[in-house]
Structure formats: C-alpha cells, structure tokens
C-alpha cells in the first residue's frame, strides 16, 4: 500500500497575538497615570557659600505673607491674597530697573501654604516676563525659614 505524505507548510501561529496584545494594553491602561506633575522651581540658598551677604531689609523687596490671608510688600498697606496680582504692578518697575534687588518672602508660621505659593507664583511670572522682555537672568528670591528670619531680624 502506498502512503501519501501530506506536506504541511511551516507557520508561526498568530491567532493568539491579538489576545496577548490586548492583555498588555489592559496592563498599561491600568498602570498609566496621565497626570502631569508640575510645580514651581525654587533654589535653596547655599549655606557654605563664602560670598553670602547679609541683606538689609531696606535694600530688598520685602514681602510678608500674613496669617489672615493678607500680604504686605515693603511699607504698603496689607492687601488680600486674592488681589496678589497687584504685587506684579508694584514689583515690575522696581525690578526692571534693578533686577539684582533681592526679593525676600517672609511667611508667617500660621499662614496657609497656598498663600505663599500664590505670592511665589506672581514673582516667578514676573521673572519669566523680565527674562523675555529684557533678557534679565533669574531674580534672587529667598524664602527665609523661621530660624533664619529670627537671625536676620526680619518679621
């Protein structure tokens, strides 16, 4: 009896390809977090710098964030933190003339964190505006801690 051999074509089974692919999709969909993590950058002062100078309150722009959701800048009367935009109008002429003027943001320990962020945001906006308009490099922004403020005689 003559046996007829069936010739089988070699092939890679791809039927399960879509299943594997969808399994991977589900995994990545579940683990993906599409939330852009962004924030305001801030450089902490370097304590070991020998060139560090003690700056007098009068030589700087002194912004004080108060506990009652208000802020004061230099000798101006206190204003609500909601009107923090006015800070821009005050700082712009001062800093466009002298960008080296240090900005000190003193925050009352009882003030809310968001009040400080609101003030810092305005200053940072001004910084990027000055950089665009006048090619002024980074402003000197300091947020003294309670211990530093006491040492420097601020508050």
**Positions that interact with other proteins (CB under 8 A):** 14, 17-18, 21-22, 24-25, 28-29, 31-48, 65, 85, 88, 107-118, 120-121, 124-126, 128-129, 143, 145-147
Give the nearer residue to other proteins in terms of CB position, either 113 or 153.
113
The helix/strand/coil state of 88 is helix
Residues 6 or more apart in contact with residue 94 via CB below 8 angstroms: 61, 101
- Minimum Å gap between C-beta 31 and other proteins is 6
- Minimum Å gap between C-beta 40 and other proteins is 5
Give the nearer residue to other proteins in terms of CB position, either 72 or 129.
129
* Alpha-carbon separation of residue 85 from 7, 14, 48, 70 (angstroms): 82, 62, 35, 13
Give the nearer residue to other proteins in terms of CB position, either 42 or 59.
42
Give the nearer residue to other proteins in terms of CB position, either 8 or 48.
48
Pairing of strands 141-142, 70-73: unpaired
- Minimum Å gap between C-beta 132 and other proteins is 8
**φ/ψ (deg, to 5) at 70:** -125, 170
- Minimum Å gap between C-beta 90 and other proteins is 13
Give the nearer residue to other proteins in terms of CB position, either 25 or 59.
25
Which tokens in the block code for residue 74?
Answer: 């230099």
- Minimum Å gap between C-beta 10 and other proteins is 20
End-to-end CA distance of the chain: 109
Tell which residue, 81, 155, 67, has the closest CA to residue 110. 67
């Amino acid at each position: 009896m003559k046996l007829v051999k069936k010739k089988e074509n070699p092939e890679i089974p791809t039927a399960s390809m879509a299943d594997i692919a969808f399994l991977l999709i589900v995994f990545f969909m579940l683990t993906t977090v599409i939330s852009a993590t962004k924030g305001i950058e801030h450089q902490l002062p370097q304590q070991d710098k020998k060139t560090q100078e003690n700056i007098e309150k009068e030589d700087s722009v002194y912004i004080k964030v108060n506990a009652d959701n208000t802020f004061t800048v230099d000798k101006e009367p206190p204003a609500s933190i909601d009107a923090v935009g006015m800070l821009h109008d005050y700082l712009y002429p001062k800093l466009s003339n002298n960008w080296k003027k240090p900005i000190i943001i003193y925050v009352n320990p009882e003030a809310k964190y968001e009040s400080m962020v609101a003030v810092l945001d305005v200053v940072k906006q001004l910084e990027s505006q000055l950089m665009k308009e006048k090619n002024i490099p980074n402003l000197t922004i300091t947020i003294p801690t309670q211990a530093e403020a006491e040492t420097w005689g601020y508050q």
